[in-house]
Amino acid sequence: MVGIEVGYEHVVINPVSGGTFEYLTDITDCSEARKSSRCYSYLGKRLYKDIDSCKLFFTKSNLYKAPLKFLLVMEPSRRLNVIFLFSIVSFIVGTSTVEGIVIDGFETETNDRFSNDSSFIANDFNLSGVALSDNGRWVTMISPNVYISSEHFRPGSGQNVTFYASNDPNGPTVTRTTTATQERVGDSDIWIGTIDSPLSSSFAYYNFATQNTTNNQTVPVLQDDESFINSPYFEATAFHFGRSPTSWSISQDIAVGQNVIDHWFGEFSAANTTGEIAFGSTVDEEGDGNYVAFESFWEIGDSGSPVLVEDNGELVLVGTGWFTTGNPDRNGFAYIGNYTEEIETFLEAHSIPEPSTYAVLLGFATFGLVLYRRRCRHAA
């Protein structure tokens, strides 16, 4: 049982399998115990300010396994007295409800990919290798036919995925289907799989982080290449992807914010994964040292979304959305670089070149076969 102490009172949340949580032991008990209280559920910056709306949210939202940060306070003025003994949100969604990523200063022109506006914050980069399956799971390509996602929020086999060649919602697209060739990467929350046919050169795939980062040692930093502070991604500004706060079709429901990678979670356990390395990005406010424009905070539906960092004009996949924590708000993501061997082994076994390359290779093979046959005939 995990307790959250509030003032002089106490409410209990039950962990369930995989490190997720039920909402409350009993919402009726909550109501009876707090006849003079208000019930607050903090999720996506929303406050449910009375016991009825709180109860309605818990019972009608269909987020049956979604872990939530849950607060009960006597009065709004006493919120600062809340002591978090445990607070975590991982992104297992229920049957229907998805929360849009929270982006500071959000505007559809600057943050929605398919607004197709020149002010879009990632307009200088090719995002054609990032997509959502038809059941709302994230897919990020690392070869023409191999994708990365989240173990606890993966597409599954047989899901259609629509890729857009540009940010134009009416532009060229292709649809591929996820195959049964997919697996967990080590014991992590990273998932790797294939689509049924490789994408053409009109669509991007991304390099991924390869440097091991296994500790947070700071002294002496020069003697430890695997320290977080020596990572090329320490204090790098990263694009964080999530479902949009505005209304789009699933395949176009992509919004982008930014955060600085500034936190080492170390060995973390959440959403069916235990004791694996996680990096984090703090949600800063204007005036904080690591504040950047369009600070973002993941919500329900954002698990498996890519964390992409610019490196010499190209995007590199550093991690995938895994969980968030509160007090302070942080995004936690599975770090790709610690699983290079497993990912490269999968690529060697299952990666297929894009069609034009495959055609060239087939042409060389055919040419070689013709020469071989001619030589055989000549010898005869």
Q: Give the total number of structural domains in the chain.
A: 2
CB 170 within 8 A of CB 105: no
Cα distance between residue 163 and residue 110, in whole Å: 21
The 10s digit of each residue's pLDDT in 122-177 is 999 999 999 999 999 999 999 999 999 999 999 999 999 999 999 999 999 999 99
Reported confidence tier of residue 72, pLDDT bands at 50, 70, 90: very low
Please count the CA atoms within 13 angstroms of the CA of 282 that sit on its side-chain side: 14
Close Cβ partners of 374 (under 8 Å, ≥ 6 residues apart): none
Same domain, 148 and 119: yes
Q: What is the pLDDT of residue 15?
A: 30
Same domain, 119 and 267: yes
Same domain, 228 and 340: yes
DSSP state of 157: T
Kindly tell me the sign of the dihedral angle through the C-alpha atoms of 243, 246, 250, 253: negative
Question: 86, 114, 142: which is the final residue of a domain?
Answer: 86
Position of tokens 């040692």? 217
The 10s digit of each residue's pLDDT in 249-298 is 999 999 999 999 999 999 999 988 888 999 999 999 999 999 999 999 99
Whether pLDDT at 237 is above 90: yes
Is 16 within the bounds of a domain? yes
CB 162 within 8 A of CB 175: yes
Range with the poorest average pLDDT among 51-60, 72-81, 269-278, 308-317 = 72-81
Is 94 within the bounds of a domain? no
Burial of 279 from C-beta contacts in 10 A (0-12 / 13-18 / 19+): buried
Is 366 within the bounds of a domain? no
**Partner residues linked to 217 by β-bridges:** none
Position of tokens 């600070």? 295
Same domain, 60 and 141: no
Same domain, 128 and 228: yes
Query: What's the rounded mean pLDDT across residues 218-226?
Result: 75
More confident residue, 207 or 17: 207
Is 358 within the bounds of a domain? no
* Percentage with pLDDT > 90 across the chain: 61
More confident residue, 17 or 288: 288
Reported confidence tier of residue 84, pLDDT bands at 50, 70, 90: very low
Whether pLDDT at 205 is above 90: yes
Question: 45, 60, 86: which is the final residue of a domain?
Answer: 86
Same domain, 125 and 67: no
Q: What is the pLDDT of residue 88?
A: 40
Reported confidence tier of residue 208, pLDDT bands at 50, 70, 90: very high
CB 19 within 8 A of CB 90: yes
Q: What is the pLDDT of residue 86?
A: 34
Query: What's the rounded mean pLDDT across residues 75-89?
Result: 32
Q: What is the pLDDT of residue 68?
A: 35
Whether pLDDT at 380 is above 70: no
Q: Which of 26, 32, 30 is nearest to 40 (CA)?
A: 30
Whether pLDDT at 5 is above 50: no
Q: What is the pLDDT of residue 44?
A: 33
Same domain, 228 and 293: yes
Is 362 within the bounds of a domain? no
The CATH number of the domain holding residue 275 is 2.40.10.120
Same domain, 189 and 311: yes
Is 231 within the bounds of a domain? yes
End-to-end CA distance of the chain: 82
**Partner residues linked to 296 by β-bridges:** 103
Q: What is the pLDDT of residue 99?
A: 75
DSSP result, 98-148: -PPPEETT--HHHHBGGG--TT-TTTTS--TTEEEBTTS-EEEESSSSEEE
Q: What is the pLDDT of residue 354?
A: 75
Same domain, 252 and 157: yes
> What's the domain range around 8?
2-86
Query: What's the rounded mean pLDDT across residues 29-36?
Result: 34
Whether pLDDT at 225 is above 70: yes
Query: What's the rounded mean pLDDT across residues 4-26?
Result: 31
Same domain, 25 and 73: yes
The two structure tokens encoding residue 93: 């969604």
Same domain, 19 and 142: no
Whether pLDDT at 22 is above 60: no
Q: What is the pLDDT of residue 57?
A: 37
| Maximum pairwise Cα distance, the chain | 100
Burial of 177 from C-beta contacts in 10 A (0-12 / 13-18 / 19+): middle
Cα distance between residue 268 and residue 261, in whole Å: 16
In this prediction the pTM is: 0.73
Close Cβ partners of 88 (under 8 Å, ≥ 6 residues apart): 67, 69, 270, 323, 324, 325, 326
Is 92 within the bounds of a domain? no
Q: What is the mean pLDDT of the chain?
A: 76
The two structure tokens encoding residue 197: 């046919």
Reported confidence tier of residue 206, pLDDT bands at 50, 70, 90: very high
Q: Which of 135, 103, 139, 138 is nearest to 122 (CA)?
A: 103
More confident residue, 62 or 189: 189
Is 229 within the bounds of a domain? yes
Same domain, 117 and 202: yes
Best-predicted range by mean pLDDT among 39-48, 70-79, 264-273? 264-273
Whether pLDDT at 98 is above 60: yes
Q: What is the pLDDT of residue 97?
A: 59
More confident residue, 9 or 148: 148
Burial of 34 from C-beta contacts in 10 A (0-12 / 13-18 / 19+): middle
Cα distance between residue 91 and residue 253, in whole Å: 16
Query: What's the rounded mean pLDDT across residues 91-107?
Result: 70
